[in-house]
Amino acid sequence: MSILSNTQRFLHERPRFRVALLLLLPLLWLLVLYVGSLAMLFITSIWKIDTFTSKVIREFTLQNFIDVFSDRAYFNVTVRTVGVALAVTLICALIAIPMAFFMARIARPRLRPILIALVLTPLWASYLVKIYAWRTMMAPEGGFITWLLEPLGLNSPGFGMIAVIIGLTYLWLPYMVLPIYAGMEKLPDSILDASSDLGAKSGRTFRQVVLPMTLPSIIAGSIFTFSLSMGDYITVQILGGTFQMLGSVVYQNFSLNLPFASAVALIPVIVMIIYLTLVRKTGALDNL
Amino acid sequence: MRLSRTAKIVLTGLMAFGLAFIYVPLGLVVLNSFNTNKAFVWPPTGFTTDWWQKAFVNTGIRDAVSLSLSTAVFATAIALILGSLAAAAIARYKFFGRDSISLLFVLPIALPGIVTGIALNNVFNSFFGGLTMYTIIIGHATFCIVVVFNNVAARYRRLGSNFQEASMDLGANRFTTFRLVTFPLIRNALVAGGLLAFGLSFDEIIVTTFTSGAGQTTLPIWIFQNLFRPNQAPIVNVVAAALILISIIPIYLSQRLTQEDRS
């Protein structure tokens, strides 16, 4: 018997070994390199720092966490960050649900792939370019928004929290539209017809049939919009003016006081883990 | 589902609003790249192609583009290998801990980029002897694995195992089956995942900020460095406009892939 057929038989009889062989490299990369790095980072958060040299000293301390949790300012930043992430998620959902519904249920089948392409297109445009676009639009002097709002007697909000929320909504909108579209497309016609046969008007069918059935897809979309907003600091720098989020605090402390930055970085991770465990039961993770 | 006329009109209006929200900012960037006004005061004051000419001969931009391209190529290659291996295991087999492992693969995109960034930065500086172009590639590959994994795993789930079983019943061994049956069936998913990974890597800035060595300026980092310099504004705008126009290529390719899959 040749080596090849021996290997064949060996593999054939041992499905578990086949799985192990397939998973070996990817798991090594993600567990050792990625999870390992994360673990290292969070160990750093219980270490001290030499305040003169900014060097990490490997001695146990809880001071970083005490600093984070006792200072009202960091609590406020956390609340602000979660608030912005929730606002972005909500606005994305409000814009995305009617779009997805239109694409999946109203548009003629021939128009559908074109609409999907139109929604997908901005995903390929650079992150920075999109935020840059809003920076020019939001500029208080001579920006497009000012030009648009002036005739209505309104002022452009300029750079700040509102600009950050608009920018993040703009960035992550496609991540919300696509899963909801996929969910709505899968809805069987028979159920929608049954609802209207039983006398429900379109509004009621939408609220009581379509929305509950596509909730897992909406949550799947929200994982992206929420998480991506939670950790952002670049958009905040470009559109936020003096406005700050958790990411900005981590970024500012990262080179001078890594242990403290790690302690702050743990906050969005904890919030995300809570969020993921909460939504895992809804089956949203299979809809990603 | 029957919809009233008003509902249809309202929904069409909301769709149009959504598309306008997506495209007006991008369109303005492209228009502004021909604007004679350096501060992009709206409406434009005149038409010029000066900025495009200046950007084209800018060596900083050229270096940044070539670094971005090569990191994206390597990161995508790593992601293709690791992502498809993981997808083959998780989508085709049932085993203990499978759900936890698939959660693990989502982690690099579910966790904020800044956390991934400083975690890797810390490890690279402590154990890898500092930051280089390779650390950018490693960082990018980590989140690129996810998109390849998602694409290929979805394809495996849809395929089921019938084709492979038929092939092996007909006497083909595991390797022949992979070469002649499985691979052709997942090829488009690999290409689609690879395209996405490439785009993601080419565009990434947050993880890159923390994993790139001194002087390793990728295109997004170049844009960010020049964004706040009023003098550079027109050239930054041209780069932005060029990136928007170039993004039509991957969109066209991925559209063709989905069409191929349907037929």
Residue identified by tokens 């006329």 is B5
Give all strands (DSSP E) within chain A, no chain letters: 47-49, 56-60
Taking the C-alpha atoms of residue B139 and residue A34, their distance in angstroms, rounded to an integer, is 9
Q: What is the pTM (predicted TM-score) of this model?
A: 0.85
The letter for the amino acid at B161 is: S
What are A2-34's pLDDT values in tens digits? 777 777 777 777 888 888 888 889 999 999 999
> Would the CB atoms of A205 and B29 count as touching at under 8 Å?
no
ipTM rounded to 2 decimals: 0.82
Taking the Cβ of residue A120 and every Cβ of chain B, the question of whether any pair is shorter than 8 Å is answered with yes
How confident is the model over A85-96, as a mean pLDDT?
96
- Give the bridge partners for B47, in sequence order: B35
Taking the C-alpha atoms of residue A256 and residue A50, their distance in angstroms, rounded to an integer, is 10
> Would the CB atoms of A276 and B103 count as touching at under 8 Å?
yes
Taking the C-alpha atoms of residue B120 and residue B118, their distance in angstroms, rounded to an integer, is 5
Question: Which span out of A38-52, A272-286, B90-104 was modeled with the highest average pLDDT?
Answer: A38-52
Predicted pLDDT at B127: 86
Taking the C-alpha atoms of residue A68 and residue A74, their distance in angstroms, rounded to an integer, is 6
Taking the C-alpha atoms of residue B116 and residue B110, their distance in angstroms, rounded to an integer, is 10
> Would the CB atoms of B114 and A247 count as touching at under 8 Å?
yes
What are B189-232's pLDDT values in tens digits? 899 899 989 988 998 999 999 999 888 899 999 999 998 888 88
Taking the Cβ of residue A40 and every Cβ of chain B, the question of whether any pair is shorter than 8 Å is answered with yes
Taking the C-alpha atoms of residue B196 and residue B183, their distance in angstroms, rounded to an integer, is 19
Cβ-contact A193, B1 below 8 angstroms = yes
Residues of chain A with Cβ-Cβ distance to B112 below 8 Å are 227-228, 230-232, 247, 265, 268-269, 272
Residue identified by tokens 């606005």 is A91
Secondary structure (3-state) at A40 = helix
Taking the C-alpha atoms of residue B189 and residue B199, their distance in angstroms, rounded to an integer, is 15
Taking the C-alpha atoms of residue B114 and residue B122, their distance in angstroms, rounded to an integer, is 12
Taking the Cβ of residue A80 and every Cβ of chain B, the question of whether any pair is shorter than 8 Å is answered with no
> Would the CB atoms of A34 and B107 count as touching at under 8 Å?
yes
What are A71-82's pLDDT values in tens digits? 888 889 999 999
> Would the CB atoms of B18 and A276 count as touching at under 8 Å?
no
Fold (CATH) for A73-287: MetI-like fold (1.10.3720)
Residues of chain A with Cβ-Cβ distance to B4 below 8 Å are 201-202
A146: which 2 tokens?
A: 């000012």
Cβ-contact B28, A133 below 8 angstroms = yes
A210: which 2 tokens?
A: 């379509």
Domain edges within chain B: 51-262
pLDDT of A1 above 60: no
Distance from CA of A10 to the nearest CA of B (A): 11
Residues of chain B with Cβ-Cβ distance to A121 below 8 Å are 22, 247-248, 251
CATH 1.10.3720.10 residue ranges in chain A? 73-287
Taking the Cβ of residue B75 and every Cβ of chain A, the question of whether any pair is shorter than 8 Å is answered with no
Distance from CA of B82 to the nearest CA of A (A): 5
- Contacts of residue B45, defined as CB under 8 A and 6 or more positions apart, other chains included, come to B35, B36, B37
Taking the Cβ of residue A48 and every Cβ of chain B, the question of whether any pair is shorter than 8 Å is answered with no
Distance from CA of A33 to the nearest CA of B (A): 8
Distance from CA of B183 to the nearest CA of A (A): 15
Cβ-contact B173, A5 below 8 angstroms = yes
Q: How many other C-beta atoms lie within 10 A of the C-beta of residue B173?
A: 17
Instruction: Kindly provide the b/e burial profile for residues A208-228, where b requires at least 16 CB atoms within 10 angstroms of the residue's own CB.
Output: ebbeebbbbbbbbbbbbbbbb
What are A100-138's pLDDT values in tens digits? 999 998 888 888 888 988 888 787 788 888 998 898 888
CA–CA distances in Å: residue B13 to residues A13, A175, A183, A281: 60, 21, 22, 35
**Superfamily covering domain B51-262:** MetI-like (1.10.3720.10)
Closest residue to B86, CB basis, from A26, A34, A121: A26
Q: How many other C-beta atoms lie within 10 A of the C-beta of residue A133?
A: 26
> Would the CB atoms of A33 and B123 count as touching at under 8 Å?
yes
Predicted pLDDT at A278: 83
> Would the CB atoms of A36 and B81 count as touching at under 8 Å?
no
What are A176-211's pLDDT values in tens digits? 998 999 889 888 888 888 888 888 887 888 888 888
Best mutation target, A12, A111, A124, to test chain B (most B CBs within 10 A): A124
Cβ-contact B136, B216 below 8 angstroms = yes
Taking the C-alpha atoms of residue B110 and residue A30, their distance in angstroms, rounded to an integer, is 14
Taking the C-alpha atoms of residue B101 and residue A27, their distance in angstroms, rounded to an integer, is 8
